[in-house]
A and B are shown apart, each in its own frame.
Chain A
Amino acid sequence: MGYYILRRLLQVIPVFFGATLLIYFMVFAMPGDPILALFGDRTPNPALLEQIRDQYHLNDPFIVQYFYYITGVLQGDFGISFSGQPVNDILVRAIPVTLRLAVMAIAIELSLAIIIGTISALRKGGVFDNVSLVIALVFVAVPVFVLAFIAQYFLAIQFGWFRATVGGQNNWGDLWLPALVLGFSLYATSMRLTRASVIDTLNQDWVRTAYSKGLPRRRVIPVHVLRNSLIPVITNSATNFGVLMVGATVTEGIFNIPGVGGTLYQATIRQEGPTVVSFVTVFVVFYVLINLVVDLLYGLLDPRIRYAK
């Protein structure tokens, strides 16, 4: 097991270099002059322009720029954004906010999925099952930004149950509305997965055995059925977690959450190589680690996998 974890961690190294090089190249290849754009419609003095470009190494060839960046990173310095802030600081500020949001959204997603999915499976073909299917289809079909705007308009502005935007107050309790929106936008797939998986498990011989041994339902369902049904659901949610870390941009914009989505968007617009690359690199590493955790969870849920390793 220890060797397995170590090997997975070492995989991060080639992924890290490959991803940073690739992303740095893509930012570098973006057309236009980012420094010139900082001056708006006013044309700055050419000498000043050159000086500022020099300061950010923008006049150097791609590989030299990348070298400056990567040497910094290896010394724990992610570079400086165009606004003069260390990218380290930006990361430290933005990531916890988005992490909080992602954890809440996944928690909401999982609780909805497991509860509704299990009930649906137990009452297959019944009214509850059909209604939950229709509702799930609606949430799958509606894009997240539509859901976000509707929730913001009705739940926050009209009814006043939540704050319309998050901004400075971004502790756990302040992120309820965006987390609900994200959770609901994601739950449908997990719910259907749970349902299918639970139905599958219910038909297994050992479930019948458990019942015939006289075990009560409240023991059979959570311990014997769910534990064996949740592997695909956990996998799906782990992927969702990665998606949320990177892809909550739209939601963060609508609810004004000072997380990674908005920061990354702004940095891309300004072609701030170091900022963009640093954020994306962190995500890559994150993805790798999340997958590691998922693999370890498998072992926890299914001892057969644990012993096979």
Chain B
Amino acid sequence: MKRNKLALTSLALLGVVGLALAGCSGGGGDSGDNGSADASAIITTNGSEPENPLIPTSTNETGGGKILDAIFAGLVSYEANGAPVNDMAEEITVDDPQNLTVKIKQGQTFTNGEEVTADNFIKAWNYGALASNEQYNSYFFEDIEGFSYDADSELTGLKQVDDYTFTIALNKPASDFALRLGYSAYYPLPDVAFDDLDAFGENPVGNGPYKLASEGAWQHNVQIDLVKNEDYQGVRQAQNGGLTISFYASQDAAYAALQGGQLDVLDAVPPSALATFEADLGERAVNQPAAVFQSFTIPARLEHFSGEEGKLRRAAISHAINREEITSTIFQGTRTPATDFTSPVIDGWSDSLEGSDVLQFDVDTAKELWAQADAISPWTGSFQIAYNADGGHDQWVDAISNQLATNLGIDASGAPYPTFAELRAQVNNRTISTPFRSGWQADYPGLYNFLGPLYATNAGSNDGDYSNPEFDRLLAEGISSTDLAQANEYFGQAQTVLFEDLPAIPLWYSNVTGGYAETVQNVEFGWNSVPLFHEITKVG
């Protein structure tokens, strides 16, 4: 009943706003000031049904992540540009690359009145890390002393000093650990959570800028209703009365809802509208780079792709691809050609790293390099890029195949797999016999996150089994350096090694595409492609 009333209220508000706008359209009423903003208005936005219960350590997809970020607050939160600011934390001290001390602000509470203490973090992290709890995000705790994937083991690196202070000891240097702490896996949990975690996941009690409107506010497959948490004292104070996150099975439906006035903020424009959304929405359209890197990986075990011959062929392939053309024609400018292995929204990113010219389109050089490789060992067979047919990848794979065929004079084509599940299974058990599409969305705004998990020897997501001691060394230097500028310098050098070896061919960075209705203001998208909901105000 209450839900319906809420929805009705927001509908009525929409209607009033529509009338108001129609009324002042003659006078060119651009309400630039926020003086008329309605602080109790509910913002409606699109989302998707969370794949898991709303427990921070078991949610690894965007649908649930968006909700968790609204109802929980971590030690730090990120500004739009990815810079961390203390949220629950009073102070985080990096004592050395392996030790941190965290001090929490006193008097902060969960929405059930329970105070947020050091213990809430330690317990939640231990729960998330414990092997038998099967948490999807357990890998976030692998750097903490005591962590084990194989057996249940306590995080011995977490020590409570007093109610509001604890220390973190890491099992290897990770100087960017403090930067990671804004990710949802590190959110605290109230004691009540551990009574019955399944029930908690249905009706989570958080400490963030929003809280569930009521018990059962999560209507599965339909929407979740959040209201402002008045007790929240952190840096993300909500400027609106709450959020209704409607779940859309298709992006097309969400876009139609935005156009039909049922949605205030949209964070994903469907492919069918990419060509027109900027014209449709004008300055209310959003199209900016995001922390998503796309590539295709060429495993070193493939014939012709190892050693000196492999280096030449990889460079030739990279030079033979016209990224500019593909991003502008196929993706309508909603991808940005890659100039490195990370993303432009990450602090320390550079588009002029040494060796990055290998990403430039240059047919003559490509042909020359390919011929040099042929001199070592003549090319045989065909070049294929494996992709999942259910993910909308066919167009760009075809385009790249055509460019490779034309520019290198080889037989090139796409190798579609019907489902993502099948592609990942083959990639994971290494039975895949062709290069394959790959991508990375950052967990936290740090350069290391794009490099370590993907290219370090034996790293978890090193699907191409790349290994280079020089790269490993530079990466280790970077992650052991507590001086951020110094660390990023090392990460840049590590990438120059990648430009030579090209374990994956960088293609482009995905942009976040979205838009908002005339009913709202102050819509800003963060580094992780999610709007900063707490800043949004409704025109009243």
Q: Which residues on A are within 8 Å of B, measured CB to CB?
A: 30-34, 36-45, 47-48, 51-52, 55, 82-85, 89-90, 93-94, 152-153, 156-157, 160, 163-165, 167-170, 252-256, 258, 262-263, 265-266, 269, 271
Select from chain A the residue with minimum beta-carbon distance to B260: A164
Q: Are A48 and B149 in contact (CB under 8 A)?
A: yes
CB within 8 Å for A256 and B250 given contacts A34-B421, A36-B428, A84-B201 = yes
9-residue interface stretch from B128-136, B173-181, B314-322, B393-401: B128-136
B161 within 8 A of A: no
Select from chain A the residue with minimum beta-carbon distance to B3: A168
A93 to B216, CA, bound (A): 14
Q: Which residues on B are within 8 Å of A, measured CB to CB?
A: 3-4, 7, 49-53, 60-61, 131-132, 134, 136, 138-139, 149-150, 198, 201, 219-223, 244, 246-250, 252-254, 256-257, 259-262, 390, 417-425, 427-428, 438-441, 453, 460-461, 463
Shortest distance from the beta carbon of B457 to any chain A beta carbon, whole Å: 15
Provide the residues of chain A in CB contact with B422, threshold 8 Å: 31-32
Select from chain B the residue with minimum beta-carbon distance to A36: B424
Q: Are B257 and A167 in contact (CB under 8 A)?
A: yes
The 3 closest A-B pairs by CB, nearest first: A164-B260, A32-B421, A32-B422
Provide the residues of chain B in CB contact with A44, threshold 8 Å: 136, 139, 460
11 other A-B residue contacts (CB within 8 Å) besides A55-B134, A156-B256, A165-B253 = A31-B422, A41-B461, A42-B460, A43-B463, A51-B134, A82-B51, A93-B220, A160-B261, A167-B248, A254-B256, A262-B221
Q: Are B3 and A84 in contact (CB under 8 A)?
A: no
A40 to B422, CA, bound (A): 12
Provide the residues of chain B in CB contact with A263, threshold 8 Å: 221
Shortest distance from the beta carbon of A160 to any chain B beta carbon, whole Å: 7
Interface of B is mostly: mixed
10 pairs from A and B in contact (CB 8 Å cutoff):
A31-B422, A33-B424, A41-B439, A45-B139, A48-B138, A90-B220, A156-B256, A165-B257, A165-B262, A256-B257
Shortest distance from the beta carbon of A53 to any chain B beta carbon, whole Å: 10
Identify which of B246, B419, B439 contacts A168 (C-beta below 8 A).
B246
Provide the residues of chain A in CB contact with B419, threshold 8 Å: 30-32, 37, 269, 271
Provide the residues of chain B in CB contact with A152, threshold 8 Å: 256, 260
Provide the residues of chain B in CB contact with A39, threshold 8 Å: 60, 136, 424
Select from chain B the residue with minimum beta-carbon distance to A31: B422
CB within 8 Å for A37 and B7 given contacts A84-B53, A157-B260, A163-B260 = no
Q: Are B221 and A38 in contact (CB under 8 A)?
A: no
Identify which of A47, A165, A252 contacts B149 (C-beta below 8 A).
A47
Q: Are A45 and B138 in contact (CB under 8 A)?
A: yes
Identify which of B49, B131, B262, B420 contacts A48 (C-beta below 8 A).
B131
Q: Are A37 and B424 in contact (CB under 8 A)?
A: yes
Provide the residues of chain A in CB contact with B257, threshold 8 Å: 164-165, 167, 256
CB within 8 Å for A255 and B253 given contacts A36-B424, A40-B61, A42-B460 = yes
